[in-house]
A and B are shown apart, each in its own frame.
Chain A
Amino acid sequence: MVDAQRLDDWFLSEVMPLEPALMRFLRRNWRNGSEVADLRQELYVNLYDAGREALPSQTRAFVFRAARNLLINRALRGQVVSIELVADLEALNVADATAGPERQVAARDELRRLQIGLDRLPPRCREVVVLRRIEGLSQREVASKLGVGEDTVEKQMLYGMRALIDFMLGGSGKIRRGAAAQTPKAGEL
């Protein structure tokens, strides 16, 4: 058993940085783009559960192998099994996808990406995120500055956080707005 802190550290420092490459891999190899986020989540659960037993020595190869297997299983489970797709996946050279030196991403590119991500947010949402996260105002200060309620600020923040994070990690930055329109108190979750 791997202890919890070490497992979280591994996930944060070795798995998460692969997300941009992983998303490219999933999008390239899965036809239904709207399912990619679900696939990612399922994959993360599998990886984390596998990590509980032992951490892999080669995280990158491990992650992409697991991604490939997940795609194959999904394809087989699908109602209409596309033999073609499965064959494609079997032949997929995972090494290709794993070779990219993701770590070389320049800081400048990341900062530019953050800028673009911010620009893509709806105007009110962007304003809230910038004031809160970048200018460092408190939720109450943001609310009074913009003349809206704190619950509005919270709602905008939640959307902004998710969209921005998604975009920063190589996603489209398009998030389905919450059905959880009621925002429960933390204790009620």
Chain B
Amino acid sequence: MSDHSAIEEHAALWRHRQEQPDWTAQDQAALDAWLDESTAHRVAWLRMEYGWQKVGRLASLRSPAPAPRTRRPLARFWRPTAMAAGLALAIGLGSLVATDSFTRHAYVTEVGGHATVPLADGTKIELNTNTKLRAALAEKQRTVWLDRGEAYFEVAHDASRPFVVYAGARKVTVLGTKFSVRRDGDRVVVAVVDGRVRVEEVKATKPPAIVTRGDTVIAEPAATLVTPKSIDRVESELAWRRGLLEFDKSTLGDAAQEINRYNRKKLVVEDPQAGAIRITGSFEAENVDAFARLLRQAFGLNVQEDGDEIRISS
């Protein structure tokens, strides 16, 4: 038996013991000591952790039916129907999925991540970079909470079950349509590709805004603005779905901020003159280096790379 196999077995044993109810602080200290002993121990542990979570996550994708806990034969749980019903998880660049319960799932993408998740009702959700949302399908209502980031929804039509997206203080209600919701803190932007949606405050004090195909809603704590746009414009706002960012006379400051959403390496625009330059075109969201090169070539800007930052000045 080779080294790696013995280490791996120990890692599995630790991982298993840690789940037992009699796991103590001393046990944890012993585990920590073991992990500190060598990198080989630590990486074996991390691998075990990763794999076991993955197994658990998949295992929890069971049909949300509030099953009376009569035990079915084991094999039946893995029937295709149960798989289809429970199929819901995001696999982005290192995206991790945690489940609150059997009917509520959380989906997360990291910076630069992008993932598509099918819900059991046929709805499709596409998560953009650095996004977290939770989804729950109940008998009378389908609910999604957008905790941060941006997502595009293709909602399966079901007149008996409205589909509601909560984004901060805003609530978006639909029956079946295609639209995106983006949340930056208190600011919520809804763009509708097809159909109609209703945007309102969670604690409604003002009448809701009805938004249709081609419209964009920008909602901030104090105001809600509906801007009719061409459908092309809405499509271009959704260019991230194709891994692209499209700018139409955007300032470099805004463009940099947008690109930074997708990358660990950040663009820093150092002076206002450079920040005010107008940019038009489409760019690969994750290719920050190419974007910087372009700035140097096209605008003669000073581009300096410094660790995780690219500094731009005129």
Contacts and interface: CB of A to CB of B under 8 A. Distances in A.
A81 interface: no
Contacts of A80: none
Nearest to B94: A13
Contact of B55 (A14, A45, A107, A168): A168
Contacts of B113: 103
B91 A107 contact: yes
A1 interface: no
A12 B39 contact: no
A8 B35 CA distance: 12
Nearest to A108: B87
B88 interface: yes
Interface stretch (B16-24, B204-212, B224-232): B16-24
A114 B87 contact: no
Size class of A's contact patch? 35 or more
Secondary structure at chain A's binding surface: helix, strand, loop or mixed?
helix
Contacts of A48: 39, 42-43
Q: Which 10 A-B residue pairs are closest in the complex by CB-CB distance? A: A165-B51, A13-B94, A41-B4, A44-B43, A16-B50, A134-B59, A179-B1, A186-B17, A178-B9, A45-B39
Secondary structure at chain B's binding surface: helix, strand, loop or mixed?
helix
B57 to A, nearest CB: 9
B117 interface: yes
Contacts of A40: 4
Interface stretch (B26-34, B136-144, B191-199): B26-34
Nearest to A139: B20
A68 to B, nearest CB: 19
A161 B54 contact: no
Interface in A25-54: 37-38, 40-42, 44-45, 47-49
Nearest to A8: B46
A38 B71 CA distance: 41
Given A105-B91, A161-B16, A12 B50 contact: yes
Nearest to A60: B93
